[in-house]
Structure 1
Amino acid sequence: MTGPILSVQNLERRYGDFVGCTDVSFDVWPGEVIAIVGESGSGKTTLLNCISARLQRSSGSVRYRMRDGRFPDLAELSEAERRFLMRTDWGFVHQNPADGLRMRVSAGANVGERLMAVGERHYGDIRRSAGEWLSRVEIAMDRIDDQPVTFSGGMRQRLQIARNLVTHPRLIFMDEPTGGLDVSVQARVLDLLRNLVNDMGLSVVIVTHDLAVARLLSQRMIVMKSGRIVEQGLTDRVLDDPQHAYTQLLVASIPES
């Protein structure tokens, strides 16, 4: 298969007269991690929700490379087809893990639900796979029957990652995945994410205001301001030699380590 896995062209989302994002175009290639950065209100989360079909766009196109090679606009898919993609071929990691988990069912059931969405029915196989994934995200097997309400914030985020990755999706959307975590916990989750993304060859679109997260995880970066892309390019190039005045301001605001 050749060509991008996701292609966004001239995307716009308006809320009445207010522009959430406009004139946004970029491609995501298989195995590529793209970071979308910018301050609060820059339009990055609106953009993420539009390209992940969680929010209807006002105009433009978002095409996705299906496993059978088709490359339809998401708007051409039925609601059932989009829902199936979200449960199987895509993942969405929320900033608040409670938004991406069922908090009152067990950790194992949270992971197992995704497997059932792709046709798994054998209880023993589902439980074994769930246990293997809990181990991969550094959650002890003896917590498999515990509910996420009993977990720490970092454990909940790792469980949400396991729930998303168990079906071996090809594209993951992440919305500030370490935003609500303590610094030491952030580092652990980021290291886990980086290793899993590399091991599985995932394509990822990650929204973050933290340029250190973008540098660690992404190969390419898109900088947004007031709903528009003001700069994009290889992550190291953008951070080490920013061209746009707004990007220069963002980079200059990073505390010296």
Structure 2
Amino acid sequence: MSDMPLLKVRSLSKFYGNRIGCHDVSFDLWPGEVLAIVGESGSGKTTLLNCLSTRLMPSTGDVQYRMRDGDYRDLFRMSEAERRVLMRTDWGFVHQNPADGLRMTVSAGANVGERLMAVGDRHYGRIRATASEWLSRVEIDTDRIDDQPRAFSGGMRQRLQIARNLVTSPRLVFMDEPTGGLDVSVQARLLDLVRGLVSDLGLSAIVVTHDLAVARLLSHRMMVMKGGHVIEHGLTDRVLDDPREPYTQLLVSSILQV
């Protein structure tokens, strides 16, 4: 890991009128590190993810991102055009519903190829070869390259969305409930795939999930949220094996009883 954080979050808050989305969140994310944000529905974890990924403007606080030249930039002082470039190149975003992250009416190959074109590749043969290679990496038969995502199963769509996001070698990937809505057996294969890719590519990732098993498998560090506040934060194994806060203890025990 680099000796400089990739992301520096300071006093980040988002309010919806009198309602707290998230409040006073601060942390650093390091290169190659996976952070899980966990909590029940309504805990604020998705609001926080949307602020971090600039899909939502925070009410207060700032997020500094270390660019490839080593300089930090305040994400919310960037122009809209600069943020769009970042989202197409340095970042990925994996949605819970793959249809939100794919173009459902173009082929699987085109879904992956579009990201390559966004970073300037114009060679059709090379784009198709790279798309084919990535389909194989996410365990989609390469003879499906011309099929549209709507012909795929839910698990295949999610794997295609991951290929679309990772083909440009991003440094940071945001994942919003990446295994939500999938059968348990499909979830297990997807998690193995994601864990391998994150490790192989040295990615940093921020994963929002209500599933503590997903957090344990994927993340190095974990933040537990309740009512918009981070109530516990630490190494994933420590938080799950020795939770300090009563709410975290309750979350962990409820999983163990299932």
- Which residue in the other structure is 2:139 paired with? 138
Partner of residue 51, structure 1: 52
* 1:110 is aligned to 2:111: yes
Tell me the TM-score normalised to structure 1 length: 0.99
Is 1:249 matched with 2:216?
no
Matching residue of 1:96 = 97
Distance in 2 separating the partners of 1:114 and 1:8? 27
- What displacement does 1:144 show? 0.1
Q: Which residue of 2 aligns with 1:209?
A: 210
SS in 2 for 1:177: coil
Per-residue deviation, 1:2: 3.4
Query: Counterpart in 1 of 2:238?
Result: 237
2:64 partner SS: strand
Matched residue of 2:217: which SS?
A: helix
Partner residue in 2 for 1:159: 160
Aligned equivalents of 2:232 and 2:257: distance in 1? 23
1:127 counterpart letter in structure 2? R
Equivalent position amino acid for 2:98 in 1: P
User: 4+ runs of 1 displaced by more than 4 Å?
Assistant: none
Q: Which residue of 2 aligns with 1:181?
A: 182
Letter in 2 for 1:30: P
Q: Give percent identity, aligned residues only.
A: 75
Report the equivalent of 1:79.
80
The residue type equivalent to 2:15 in the other structure is R
Aligned to 2:225: 224
Shift of 1:255: 3.4
C-alpha distance after superposition, 1:145-182 (max 9, x if no partner): 00000000000000000000000000000000001100
Give the AA of the match of 2:196. Answer: N
| Structure 2 portions without partners, runs of 5+ | none
Separation in structure 2 between the aligned mates of residue 73 and residue 22 of structure 1, nearest angstrom: 19
- Counterparts of 2:88 and 2:233 in 1: how far apart (Å)? 30
TM-score (norm 2): 0.98
Distance 2:164 2:110 in 1: 9
Cα distance in 2, alignment partners of residues 201 and 186 from structure 1: 22
Equivalent residue of 1:115, what SS? helix
Aligned mates of 1:165, 1:210 — CA distance in 2 = 23
The Cα RMSD (Å) is 0.8
Instruction: Provide the rounded CA distance (Å) in 1 between the counterparts of 2:59 and 2:231.
Output: 21
What is the rounded CA distance, in whole Å, between the counterparts of 1:149 and 1:72 in structure 2? 38
Question: Match of 1:65?
Answer: 66
1:70 is displaced (CA, Å) by 1.2
- Count of residues in correspondence between the two structures: 257
